[in-house]
């Protein structure tokens, strides 16, 4: 099969992702999963793809790609600056949350994200990739997934499932607002009794800085030491996305989509599902605070978030 | 059976079977894990995305789109009652290991710490039937116990940057095998030519939690000539 697009520049951290790989964590295989479910789902919705169709996730600076087949339809979601240029040298500034009908020779240059970390580039019909355990998500640390479990590299040739695109293009009339969030809601973690009262108090009442040691696996925070009263080791147990563990140095780490399958540090909190997407979009260097909520608030917030996502998808209109 | 069920975030629950790292406790964890896997396949319960057994806990991760912690907890409570310990599918593996000095670079360290001769250490290692408590850390990585107390040796103070794939390693009361080259701080006793994990295989992980492993010694020459295909043919 001939390839459809060529990677001219890989970007800082670009990889194939979908909604994750499940029912194999007991074998030591983590769920992976796109970092921002909402932008992932919106991208597929705008392209009329299945909700879980795989696409390219990028961070900070995205890839630059060239269209090598007759026609392709793409969409970019997130808060992203990008351009589309053609063989005549004409360049247009791209808009997120709308699809583009592109032809051979066109180049998409995803220059950077704005006040955020992750963005998505999807293709109508999806990318032709082999699924591993029912998912195309790539985990480069454990070498799981298609593309030999590796990130996207300069010169990679990618084949799409569709060799030509449909002409109509669509856009959301109501796109996500780029509101900045600094308060992240969490539920109490399973090892709260490992921490001193002071430690718990400083965790819920002081600011933490997101450090540069943050990637798809974890977000390392820096702030007032969260004091432990027991050993900093527990019997290793299964890990869930959004868990906040505290090693002996008292500096919390939020475990993100590429987390290990089991872990042995006590967990003081767990980020609620409704706030996860917002957390991972906050740039390193910013301050965040954690607010304790109960499970009822967490569940209601999730339903509200899903309703708002659905309203955005319902706001989609054909633009030509 | 289950001592306590608690929430783990809004999308998870923890079934706690007791505090200790003990085979008898882990057997119960894995029994519940296997029943749940079956119920998920039979679609008797919606929304469960991962069941993760560890020494003394079973953690269940689910999708809030389809269910809630309340529903999952009452489902687990209802099946925990009917639970039986059936272990027919657990496999007993015979795994080749080469203790050549070139591989077993920490044999002397373990001997110094335990005050046992290297021969005694290797003999004890060969005579132990290991039980796989769980897989994790890396795909296919087995946490195997229990190494007898006489062989207790702590991890290296400074982990090595690279430990070769197939390294058979011990630390404290546990034994493990590295599926890939990886950093690590365990003591290396030998090396196995076995392939523990291959994502392209129809059966990607050789081991499952609850399986047992006994090692048998091979020479360096046999290690070199080892064929995984032949091993799997003989194992089935």
pLDDT tier, A186 (very low <50, low <70, confident <90, very high otherwise): very high
Which residues does B121 contact at the CB level (< 8 Å), separation at least 6? B107, B110, B111, B114, B151, B189
B133-182 per-position pLDDT tens digit: 999 989 999 999 999 999 999 988 888 988 999 999 999 999 999 999 98
Q: For residues A270 and A275, give the distance between their C-alpha atoms in angstroms, rounded to a whole number.
A: 11
What average pLDDT does range A199-227 have in this prediction?
Answer: 96
Residues 6+ apart with CB under 8 A from A156: A6, A7, A10, A147
Nearest to B15 by CA among B71, B74, B68, B56: B56
Q: How confident is the model at residue B235 (pLDDT cuts 50, 70, 90)?
A: confident
Query: Distance between CA atoms of A211 and A163, rounded to whole angstroms?
Result: 43
A106-152: per-residue pLDDT in tens? 999 999 999 999 999 999 999 999 999 999 999 999 999 999 999 99
Q: Which of A132, A260, A298 sits opposite B10 (nearest CB)?
A: A298
pTM of the model: 0.94
Closest Cβ–Cβ partner in A235, A242, A272 for B56: A235
Which site among A20, A32, A37, A240 would you substitute to test the B interface, given the most B Cβ atoms closer than 10 Å to its Cβ? A240
- Give the ipTM: 0.96
**In chain A, % of residues over pLDDT 90:** 95
Q: Does the pLDDT value for residue B10 go beyond 70?
A: yes
Distance in Å, alpha carbon of A289 to nearest chain B alpha carbon: 17
Contact (Cβ atoms closer than 8 angstroms) between residue A129 and residue A156? no
Chain B: residue whose CA lies nearest to A24: B50
- What domains can be seen in chain B, in order of their start residue? 4-81 (3.30.1360.40), 92-235 (2.40.100.10)
Average pLDDT of chain A, as a whole number: 96
Contacts of A270 in chain B (CB under 8 A): 8-10, 12
Peptide bond into B54 cis (omega under 30): no
Residues A295 and B9: their CA atoms lie apart, in Å, by 8
A240/B197 CB distance under 8 A: no
What order do you get walking across the sheet with B4-7 strand by strand?
B4-7, B12-16, B57-62, B48-53
Q: ∠A141-A143-A147 over CA atoms, to 5°? A: 125
Question: What average pLDDT score do residues A275-300 get?
Answer: 97
Kindly determine whether residue B50 and residue A31, on different chains, have CB atoms separated by under 8 Å. yes
Average pLDDT over residues A261-277: 96
pLDDT-derived band at B84, boundaries 50, 70, 90: low
Residue among B8, B9, B141 whose CB faces A28 most closely? B141
**Residue B85's pLDDT is what?**
57
Mean pLDDT (whole number) for A62-71? 98
Question: Residue B139 and residue A29: Cβ atoms within 8 Å?
Answer: yes
User: Stretch A83-87: mean pLDDT, rounded?
Assistant: 97
Average pLDDT for A243-251: 95
Chain B residue numbers touching A149 (CB-CB < 8 A): 199
pLDDT digits 0-9 by tens, B96-136: 999 999 999 999 999 999 999 999 999 999 999 999 999 99
Task: Judge contact between B45 and A273, C-beta under 8 A.
Answer: no
CA A176 to chain CA centroid, nearest Å:
15
- Answer yes or no: are the C-beta atoms of B220 and B99 closer than 8 Å: no
Confidence of residue A30 (pLDDT cuts 50, 70, 90): very high
What's the Cα-to-Cα distance from B85 to each of B19, B32, B34, B184, rounded to whole Å? 20, 9, 10, 35
Place of tokens 């030999």: A148
Give the SS3 label for residue A27. helix
Position A67 confidence tier, pLDDT thresholds 50, 70, 90 = very high
Please answer yes or no on whether B51 and A26 come within 8 Å at the CB atom. yes
Paired sense of beta strands A15-17 and A55-59, if any: antiparallel
Report in angstroms the alpha-carbon separations of B231 from A91, B222, B228: 59, 12, 5
Q: What is the DSSP letter of B156?
A: P
Residue A18: per-residue pLDDT: 98
Q: What is the DSSP string of A160-192?
A: BS-SS--S--EEESSPPP-----EEEEEEPTTG
Q: Show the tokens assigned to A273.
A: 């599902």
Please give the structure tokens belonging to residue B212: 């047992």
Alpha carbons within 13 angstroms on the beta-carbon side of residue A56 total 33
**Using one digit for the tens of pLDDT, what is the confidence trace for B126-140?**
999 999 999 998 999
Of residues B84 and A281, more confidence is placed in A281
Q: Tell me the domains of chain A and their CATH numbers.
A: 5-172 (no CATH), 183-309 (2.40.100.10)
pLDDT value at position B86? 56
The neighbouring-strand residues paired with A85 are A91, A107
Expressed in percent and rounded to 5, the helix, strand and coil fractions of chain A are 20, 35, 50
Nearest Cα to A96, choosing from A108, A104, A107, A85?
Answer: A108
The predicted pLDDT at position A233 comes to: 86
Q: What is the pLDDT of residue B88?
A: 57
């Amino acid at each position: 099969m001939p390839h459809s697009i060529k990677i001219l520049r890989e970007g800082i951290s670009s990889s194939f992702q979908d909604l994750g790989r499940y029912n194999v964590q007991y074998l030591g295989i983590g769920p992976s999963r796109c970092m921002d479910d909402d932008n992932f789902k919106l991208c597929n919705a705008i392209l009329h793809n299945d909700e879980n169709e795989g696409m390219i996730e990028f961070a900070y600076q995205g890839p630059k790609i060239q269209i090598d087949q007759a026609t392709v339809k793409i969409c970019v979601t997130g808060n992203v600056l990008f351009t589309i240029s053609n063989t005549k040298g004409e360049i247009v500034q791209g808009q997120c949350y709308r699809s583009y009908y592109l032809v051979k020779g066109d180049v998409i240059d995803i220059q950077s994200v704005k006040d955020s970390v992750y963005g998505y580039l999807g293709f109508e019909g999806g990318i032709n990739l082999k699924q591993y355990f029912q998912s195309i998500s790539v985990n480069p640390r454990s070498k799981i997934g298609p593309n030999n479990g590796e990130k996207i590299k300069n010169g990679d040739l990618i084949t799409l499932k569709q060799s030509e695109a449909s002409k109509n293009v669509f856009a959301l009339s109501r796109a996500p607002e780029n509101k900045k969030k600094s308060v992240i809601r969490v539920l109490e973690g399973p090892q709260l009794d490992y921490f001193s009262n002071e430690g718990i108090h400083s965790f819920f009442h002081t600011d933490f800085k997101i450090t540069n040691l943050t990637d798809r696996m974890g977000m390392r925070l820096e702030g007032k030491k969260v004091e432990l009263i027991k050993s900093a080791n527990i019997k290793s147990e299964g890990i869930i996305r959004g868990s906040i563990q505290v090693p002996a140095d008292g500096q919390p780490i939020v475990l993100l989509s590429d987390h290990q399958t089991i872990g042995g540090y006590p967990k003081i909190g767990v980020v609620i599902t409704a706030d996860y997407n917002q957390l991972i979009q906050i740039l390193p260097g910013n301050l965040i605070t954690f607010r304790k909520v109960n499970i009822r608030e967490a569940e209601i917030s999730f339903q509200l978030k899903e309703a708002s996502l659905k309203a955005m998808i319902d706001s989609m209109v054909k633009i030509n | 059976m289950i001592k306590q069920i608690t929430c783990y975030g809004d999308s998870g629950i923890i079934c706690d079977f007791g505090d200790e790292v003990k085979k008898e406790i882990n057997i119960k964890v894995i029994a519940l894990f296997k029943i749940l896997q079956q119920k998920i396949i039979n679609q008797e319960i919606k929304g469960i995305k991962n069941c993760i057994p560890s020494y003394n806990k079973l953690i269940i991760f689910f999708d809030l789109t389809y269910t809630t912690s309340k529903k999952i907890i009452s489902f687990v409570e209802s099946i925990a009652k009917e639970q039986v310990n059936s272990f027919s599918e657990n496999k007993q593996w015979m795994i080749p290991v080469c203790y050549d000095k070139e591989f077993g670079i920490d044999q002397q360290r373990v001997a110094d710490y335990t005050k046992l001769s290297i021969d005694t250490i290797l003999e004890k290692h060969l005579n132990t039937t290991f039980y796989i408590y769980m897989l994790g850390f890396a795909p296919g990585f087995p946490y195997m116990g229990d190494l007898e107390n006489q062989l207790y040796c702590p991890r290296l103070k400074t982990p090595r940057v690279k430990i070769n794939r197939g390294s058979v390693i011990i630390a404290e009361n546990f034994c493990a095998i590295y599926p890939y080259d990886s950093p690590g701080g365990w003591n290396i006793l030998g090396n196995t030519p076995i392939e523990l994990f291959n994502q392209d295989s129809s059966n990607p992980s050789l081991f499952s939690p609850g399986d047992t492993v006994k090692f048998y010694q091979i020479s360096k020459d046999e290690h070199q000539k080892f064929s995984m295909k032949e091993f799997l043919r003989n194992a089935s």
